[in-house]
Every structure is written in C-alpha cells, then in structure tokens.
Homo-oligomer: A and B are copies of this chain.
Amino acid sequence: MNFLRYLLTGLLLLTSTSLVYSQNIKWLEVEPGIWKGIIGKPENFDLLKASGAVAVHQGLSDMGQAKFPLGESDITAKVTDGKTYLHFPLSQNEQLYGLGLNFKTVQQRGRILTLHVDNYEGKDNGRTHSPTPFYISSNGYGVFINSARYIQVYAGTAVRTDSKNPPIAQDRNTDDNWSARPYSDGVDILVPAQGVEVYVLGGPTMLDAVRRYNLLSGGGCLPPRWGLGFTQRVQRLSTAADVLKEADAFEEKGYPLDFIGLEPGWQSKSYPCTFEWDKSRFPDPRGFVGAMLKKNVRLNLWTNPYISPESPIAKIIAGYTGSHSVWVGAVADITIPEARQVFFGELSKNKIDIGVSGFKIDEVDGGDEYLWPDVATFPSGHSAEQMRQTYGLMMQRYVTGQYHQLNRRTFGLVRASNGGGSSFPFVIYNDYYNHRDFITALINSGFAGVLWTPEVRDSKTAEEWLRRFQSNIFSPMAMINAWESGTKPWTFPEVAAQVKQMAALRMQMMPYWYSEFAKYHFKGIPPFRSMVLEDGFGNHDLIKNTNDVNLKDYPYGRVITQEVKDQYMAGQYLLVAPMFNGETSRKVILPKGNWYDFYTGKYAGNGEVISVMPGLDKIPVYVKDGGIIPMMPATLHAPKANEKVDLEIRYYGNKPGYYLLYDDDGETFEYEKGAWSFRKIKVELKKGKIAGEISAPVKGKPNTIGKVTFKKMG
C-alpha cells in the first residue's frame, strides 16, 4: 500500500497547477533542415493533424542540408500551470516577421500577439483569419508552433531576470534615456496545453526558412489554370437567368471571365444554410451549371458551414454537432468521419457532382458575437478552442478531398486558415476594405503560408476603382466581389478600357502565374511575398541609416528599420508597387541589381529609392535583371485541359536569364502521379541580340506549349 500511495502522490503532483518542470529540448531532424522538438506531452490534435499535411520530402531534399540555427541551450521550455512556456533567443539586431496574416505591420519584434482565428478587426493583435504560429527571423531561420490552441507570443518584449543581455536599470526621474520598454533578448511563447511540438526551420536565408515551412505543410497549393483567370461574384439574389446574362455580357464586352461566384441567394435559406439550391432562382441546377460550362465559365458557391434545421442533413447529422448553434445553425463536428461523410457528401450532391468548381467558405473565422463560444463542446471531445483554430483548415482539407476524389482541381475562397494549410487551394478574403492594409496583408500572406486577395468590391471614384483593380490583378485571385454592390468591371466607364487592359494582362501572364504557383507547390516559394525575402534587400542593408541603429537610440527592443508595407514581390522576377487612390507619385525601393520597367523594359534603377509617376493607367511593376516573363495571348478564358497555347517569352535587362516554365494538364491531380514537367528557358544577349531557347517537351508528360517566341523588352 505504501507503493500505491507513493504512485498516487506522484500522479497527483503531476496534475497540480503549481508544478514546474523545465526540460532541455531534444531536436530531431525530421526532414533536411527541419528539426522537431517535443515538449511535455503534446496533444493528440494539432495544426498539422487537422490539416493532414504531409511534408514534401523531395522538395526538402532538393534544398539540401542546413545548420541548426540557434544555440540549443538558448531554447528553453517549461510545463507549468497546465501550460507550456517556450523561450527562444534573439540577438541584438534581429528582426522578426510572420506570426499570421497581419494587416498593418510586417515587422513583429516588440509586439505581443494572441494567435486566435478571428475576423480581422483593425488591430494586429493576433486575431486574424490565419494566425499562423510561425515566425521568421532576419537571421535566417523560422520557428513553427504546431498547436491548435490560442498561443500567446511575446516577440521580444519580455525581460527575464536571468537574461544574458540584461537591460540596465535607469532612473525615470532624471534620465532621458529611460525607456518604457527595456531591451528584451527573447521570444516568450505560452501554449495553453501540457505539451507541444515545435519545429525549427533552417536557412541560411529567410526565404529558405519560409520554403521549408511551406514544404513541411504539404507544399504550396497548385490551382487549376482557370483559377488564375478572372472571377466575378454576382449579387446575392441573382437568378440563373441573371447569371447567364452576366456571363454573356462579359463575353460581348470582351472582358475575361473564368468563374462566377454565387452568393447566399443560391441556397433556399441561408444563415443558417440548407445547402440546397433555391428552386425559384435556380429551378434546374444541372442544366444551369452545364449551360455555364458551355460558355467556359465555371461556378463557385458561397456557403458557411452552419446547418439550417431545414437542411436535408439536419436530422442525420444531429448526433455529431456541437453544443452551441451559430445563427441557429448546427455546427458539425467535422473531426468525426461520420459527420464528414454526411456534411461533405451534401456539399458534393447536386453541387460538386454536377460540375460546380469550388466554394467560398464564409464565417469559419469568427466574430465571437456569432460563433460558437469557447465554452462550446463537441461530441469528439475536441475543445471549442481547438475547433475555432482549425475549422477553416478542415473545411479546406475536406472540400479539396471531395474534388480530389473526382480528380478535378478546385480553387476557392475561405475566411480562415492556420498553420499547416499551405497546400489548400483557397484564398483568404474578408470584409475589411483598406487598400493599403490589403497590400500589407498580401505581403504577410507569404510569411503565413496562405493566399490572400485584395478583392475589389466598390469604390467612391473611378480612380480608386482602377487602383484597386490594378493591385488585384497582381494577386492570387483576380476578382470583383459584387455580392452587395452589383459592380461590374465596366461600372466606371471612365476607366473601363484600362480595367479591360489590366484584365487582359492577367490572362496574358497566366503562364507566369501558373509556373510561379508550381514553384510554390514543389519548392515552397510563396508567389506573393515580402521584399525582405529578396536578395539585396533582406538585411535592410539598402535602406539608409540602418547602420546607425543602436540600442541606446532605440532601446525598445525594436530594431528600427524602415518597414516596407506597400510593395512586394510577385513571382520570381516582379516587384509590384501599387498606387493608392489620390496618389500621383510614389517611392519605390529597388533592391541591389539592375531593375527594369515591366511595361517598357527601360532601366529603372539599382539598389536605390526611386520616385515614379506612372499615370493613372499603370501600376508600377519592375523586373529583375535577366528576368523572364512567359506570356500567352489575351484570351477571355483560361486554356482548357491540355489545350496548346503559344508563348511570347519576354526578357528584361542584360544578365543571362533562366526560367522554369511549368506544364501539366492544368485541371486534374495527375501531376501528383508525375504528369508534369518544368521546361527550361534560357535567354541571353549575344552581341546585343536576344538568343532564347526552351528545353524540349518531356516525353510522356503533358505538353500545352505551342509556338514559342522571344522578345527583348526595352
């Protein structure tokens, strides 16, 4: 009995809240350049389990080895009070990026965030559509916390008394150097669980760390070619006839259109949802979808996942739903296979199976005001918190799965994602509508392993309309969302021609966008990303005065360098610098190396800040020296599966250029079985004349490339 008492006492101690046990973390290299550390007893549900991500071993191997980027003993962990505390070191001039889809900030050192899936409410506090618990250091490594909990991050704010680099106490009464925020040499993280899996992602560059994160998360998504065309979302109460007419209008007016999105009115009832076609507005769904497909226009359906009592699945799924309703709709516990079968079966029936191309999955993020509360329970035993952090991830996963079964790719919209979701073919959107902040979000999407669209809805002026449209064209999804406004690309006649030209440019660039998404998929390189991931920009060595930064002047633990939030990289070669309403000129920071005007090929600058006045028609875009942009004709619809398309290979600057042009059938998942190739394009100037070549089609692989011509720009 003494032995029993001893054992019980020990066990009870383990559950007591005051127990602290620290540990050295054992770092296991699970993929080249990726180390996993296990602290405490990780939960049996986490972000990677929710997303089902499988690391892309080939892509990671191709990247080669990396060194463990930190001193192992500088990383400490502790499990206490039912929570896991993590501490990672920071060096003096280190800057941090990432920590989710932020809208106002890019640099994260000095900030405190609680990573929490939510509607973005105007403040970068961790509550956002994808609060990906992943940060990237300017020292060239990343840290990913694989937990489906609300994680608190003190990104260089907390000061430990045992710090190796302690700040010095100063007297506020008399010392002007006194700081309200003394220097912090670490990132402190609180995971409210009794253990967690943590990943350290090696460099040596920040981009390497980002790539490793995306490859760990299954590789970036590869949309179908049509997904990269133009999409219009129609007014919510549109009928089948309205939609057919709208597609015809695009065709007649000569605006490209690849898919139309139907908003809540396609359902018989919504908020909560029946998931059934409204019989008055859409009497013949199959016929309607077929008629649209004949026009080469696909359909995407809005839905949220909250099940109306009048939905045909309401009764069947009743045993698999949470304790709380959302807009009086039941919330399916989609961690349970039986619930998934019913729920995603319903999404398939008469929708996916009759040719619907995808979904816009709304309101899986929050507001707290309408979502299930954190006290909700679910039959699987997963907590409300875990469900909140992963519902968007899981919706993407299982909708994609439905399409996978039919060997058809999809490309849709979603309002919530999280770590581990890179591979899902969904683009995040929201109700917020600040053009500048939309661009900052686009920059941060590249750190967060998600895609983001700065969608166009409406505008006060033609100028604003065009400026928003121009940015939108250089984003993952070119879209007008007219669910409420009823706007069309030609709504502002003064700029209708320019809008059409931009939409045509989007189509022309499809081979470039498609290849860049393939690199996202196979190599983990985000197609849209921050300037700091670009060579010659990364360590801010370009920007004046950063060498003067020191802790005496800037003691707030923030490395004060210019935070670049209004220009970004789009694919391998393009630097995009959007114009905002009311602006006639702007400054553009060009990294080191020669840069050229995208439209004219003229030299623009090298490692300098230029001032540009592009006029209303143009969004400033620059191409790196040796840049290669493959273009196709400006069709109104994406090429069909395996359809051959002629290419014009544009070449910029003087340096020998090299490009990997991706090819596959464009619509199916056959690429997963190897039915794809990268065609190698080489261009150089020989005695001032362009000399280009493209490698031969790979035998047995899809070949959609017709006639290839080369064009020197400028």
Stretch at the interface among A224-232, A374-382, A441-449, A580-588: A374-382
- Helix, strand, loop or mixed for chain A's interface? loop
Q: Is the CB of B14 within 8 A of A329?
A: no
A11 in complex: contacting residue of B8, B154, B167, B178, CB < 8 Å:
B8
Question: Is A91 part of the contact surface with B, judged by Cβ < 8 Å?
Answer: no
Stretch at the interface among A135-143, A267-275, A409-417, A513-521: A267-275
Which residues of B lie under 8 Å from residue A81 when comparing CB positions?
Answer: 383, 385
Inter-chain CA distance A705–B347, complex, in Å, is: 82
A324 in complex: contacting residue of B19, B160, B380, CB < 8 Å:
B160
Which residues of B lie under 8 Å from residue A86 when comparing CB positions?
Answer: 375
Stretch at the interface among A185-193, A503-511, A525-533: A185-193
Q: How far is the CB of A183 from chain B (nearest CB, A)?
A: 9
Q: For window 151-168 of chain A, which residues contact chain B by CB distance below 8 Å? A: 152, 154, 157-162, 166-168
Chain B residue at minimal CB-CB distance from A383: B81
Which residues of B lie under 8 Å from residue A237 when comparing CB positions?
Answer: 173-174
Chain B residue at minimal CB-CB distance from A14: B15
Q: How many A residues are at the interface, by size bracket? A: 35 or more
Q: Is the CB of A15 within 8 A of B15?
A: yes
Question: Is A325 part of the contact surface with B, judged by Cβ < 8 Å?
Answer: yes
Counting chain B CB atoms within 10 Å of each CB, the highest count among A14, A375, A377 belongs to A375
Q: How far is the CB of A13 from chain B (nearest CB, A)?
A: 11
Q: Is the CB of B374 within 8 A of A190?
A: yes
Question: Is A613 part of the contact surface with B, judged by Cβ < 8 Å?
Answer: no
Inter-chain CA distance A78–B323, complex, in Å, is: 12
Which residues of B lie under 8 Å from residue A188 when comparing CB positions?
Answer: 373, 375
Which residues of B lie under 8 Å from residue A309 when comparing CB positions?
Answer: 169
Inter-chain CA distance A310–B170, complex, in Å, is: 10
Chain B residue at minimal CB-CB distance from A191: B375
Q: Is the CB of A20 within 8 A of B381?
A: yes
Chain B residue at minimal CB-CB distance from A264: B173
Which residues of B lie under 8 Å from residue A161 when comparing CB positions?
Answer: 321-325, 330
Q: Is the CB of A87 within 8 A of B269?
A: no
Q: Is the CB of B173 within 8 A of A269?
A: yes
Inter-chain CA distance A322–B160, complex, in Å, is: 9
Question: Is A82 part of the contact surface with B, judged by Cβ < 8 Å?
Answer: yes
Which residues of B lie under 8 Å from residue A178 when comparing CB positions?
Answer: 271
Q: Given the known A-B contacts A112-B368, A169-B329, A182-B328, are A17 and B158 also in contact in the complex, defined by CB atoms under 8 Å?
A: no
Q: How far is the CB of A370 from chain B (nearest CB, A)?
A: 6
Q: Is the CB of B11 within 8 A of A325?
A: no
Chain B residue at minimal CB-CB distance from A271: B172
A190 in complex: contacting residue of B12, B85, B173, B375, CB < 8 Å:
B375
Known: A112-B373, A157-B369. 17 other contacts (CB 8 A): A17-B381, A18-B382, A20-B377, A87-B375, A154-B375, A158-B372, A161-B322, A161-B330, A169-B310, A170-B328, A171-B270, A173-B265, A173-B269, A180-B327, A182-B327, A182-B328, A190-B375
Chain A residues with CB under 8 Å of chain B are 4, 7-8, 11-12, 14-15, 17-20, 43, 78, 80-82, 85-87, 112, 152, 154, 157-162, 166-174, 178, 180-182, 188-190, 192-194, 236-237, 264-265, 267-272, 278, 308-310, 321-330, 368-370, 372-377, 380-383, 385
